[in-house]
Chains A and B, each alone.
Chain A
Amino acid sequence: MRARNVLAALLLAAAGLARAGDYAALPGGRFESVLPQGDLPGVSVPVTLAPFELRRTPVSVAEFLAFVRAHPEWRRGTAPAVFADARYLSHWSAPLEPPAGAGALQRPVVDVSWFAARAFCESEDARLPTWLEWEYAAAADETRTDARADPAWRRRILAWYERPGGAALPAVGGQANAHGVRDLQGLVWEWVDDFNALFIAGDSRTQGDPDVLKFCGAGAISIIDRDSYAVLMRVAFLSSLNAADTTSTLGFRCARSLPGASR
């Protein structure tokens, strides 16, 4: 009887978490990306971001489980190869059975493709954040909305990348940043909607465009702030992906435009 009560409570808790996620409102405004946003390669132009909402935490295994329960077409083995590679949710023991173990349901979902992440976000009337939205949100530390100039903060983020791989991921819900958003750093890589806009030249020191035929227009992105290694690692990682790719360290969170705001 007692065990059943505990189980019921757990199920209720899981159902609660699996409801549409909790979003923080971000004011947007003028933002200088590490990646040049202007027409000229290597020249920084600040952009103006419209206010938007961002999920406070990455999508958890429990939330993704609820999604594939409701959307059979996104279950492992059913989702077509063009939308999710063979590795999709491969660490789950069955299409509706995520890994067991204490806290497993509260870990960020990984091994999901861009298409699957997009479909999840659509299911809660949201979308994936753009790269700029993600970068802007992730520029904050616990107290400042833009901590990027602080060498101590940079070192802290870099330390995460030095952590050896292979260990089980922690649960979502780390320390909130100044926007009330958690786990932007230190947990998983995250899909962004325009991941395929992030192409970088093999050698970012090149100002000219040796590859004018491969890339039409002003060419691939060249980097402005070379000290932002952590962000640049993300850009390099995201730009190497195909939309059906999945990896064991890549998850996602969703964003929402505010009514009337254009992206």
Chain B
Amino acid sequence: MTDLPMTRRGAVLALMAAAHAAVAAQAAPAPPVSTLPGDSVYRLRPRIVDQDGHAVDLASMRGAPLIVSMFYSSCDMVCPLIFETIKQTRMALPPDRRERVHVLMISFDPERDTVAQLKETAAAHGCDSHWTLVRASDADVRQIAAVLGVQYRRLPSGAFNHSSAILLLDRDGRIAARTGKLGEVDPQFVDVLARLA
């Protein structure tokens, strides 16, 4: 009788452990936001969906350097150049370190950049599995742009004016480098990337 409370507690503990193991088995859970540095972009919790239709937790990008930029698929001027520049930037790293560098591309245009369109755009630019193209609500896109320091506005034609920035986030989501250089690799950006990757 006296050991009943103990047993009960043991059972609870066992259940908790099992539950924990089950959760851990599903996916490595993203670390709690509170452990992120105060200046981490991953403090933002936008609802974003990738080119395969999967919801993406921004903070799940934590743990490796991430190249981030914004685009819209129907853009025929600067956006293809952004994709190309990021590709070249990754290629500037030795293959083993290149593998660690992922790319997140956020669309300005949730209306026309549907999941299917994102998939098509990824294919058109030859994006491999290191690339995640995402869409979000207008309000979330506005917030993401704000936190990244990207300026944009929608024109009546459906095109967008936007500043062209490629950013580098460190493993904790802090902005480590930023470049506006397009069409060629920015050596300073690559230096920082090489240090983080």
Contact = CB atoms under 8 A, between A and B. Distances in A.
A binds B: yes
Contacts of A217: 75, 77-78, 155, 159-162
Contacts of A218: 155, 159, 161
Interface string B138-167: 010011011101111111110111111000
Given A80-B39, A83-B43, A199-B151, A114 B146 contact: yes
Nearest to A213: B182
B144 to A, nearest CB: 10
A196 B39 CA distance: 19
B155 A213 contact: no
A80 B151 contact: no
Contact of A38 (B36, B152, B156, B164): B156
A155 to B, nearest CB: 30
Nearest to B163: A215
A231 B187 CA distance: 40
B38 interface: yes
Contact of A194 (B75, B149, B153): B153
B39 A81 contact: yes
B183 to A, nearest CB: 8
Interface string B170-183: 00000000001011
B44 interface: yes
Contacts of B143: 115, 118, 243
Given A80-B43, A115-B146, A197-B151, A37 B182 contact: no
Contacts of B182: 213
A196 B146 contact: yes
A82 B41 contact: yes
B160 to A, nearest CB: 6
Given A194-B142, A196-B152, A216 B147 contact: no
Given A199-B151, A213-B78, A217-B75, A82 B38 contact: yes
A1 to B, nearest CB: 46
B77 A216 contact: yes
A164 B176 CA distance: 39
Interface in A118-155: 118, 127
Nearest to B71: A216
B40 interface: yes
Interface in A221-252: 221, 239, 242-243
B75 A216 contact: yes
A87 B164 CA distance: 28
Given A114-B146, A196-B146, A197-B151, A215 B161 contact: yes
Interface residues on B, range: 35 or more
B185 interface: no
B79 interface: yes
A79 to B, nearest CB: 8
A45 B163 contact: no
A199 B43 contact: no
Contacts of B156: 37-39, 45
Interface string A56-80: 0000000000000000000000001
A80 B38 contact: yes
Specify which of A118, A196, A221 lies most central, judged by the most chain B CB atoms within 10 Å of its CB. Answer: A196
A193 interface: yes
A220 B149 contact: no
Interface in A76-119: 80-83, 114-115, 118
B155 A193 contact: no
A39 B153 CA distance: 11
Interface string A190-226: 0001101111000000000000111111111100000
Contact of B159 (A39, A194, A212, A214): A39
21 contacts: A45-B156, A80-B36, A80-B39, A80-B40, A81-B38, A82-B147, A115-B146, A127-B139, A196-B145, A197-B154, A199-B153, A212-B77, A213-B81, A213-B180, A215-B164, A217-B77, A217-B155, A218-B161, A219-B161, A220-B161, A242-B149
Interface of A: 37-39, 45, 80-83, 114-115, 118, 127, 193-194, 196-199, 212-221, 239, 242-243
Which 3 A-B pairs give the minimum distances between C-beta atoms? A197-B153, A216-B78, A243-B146
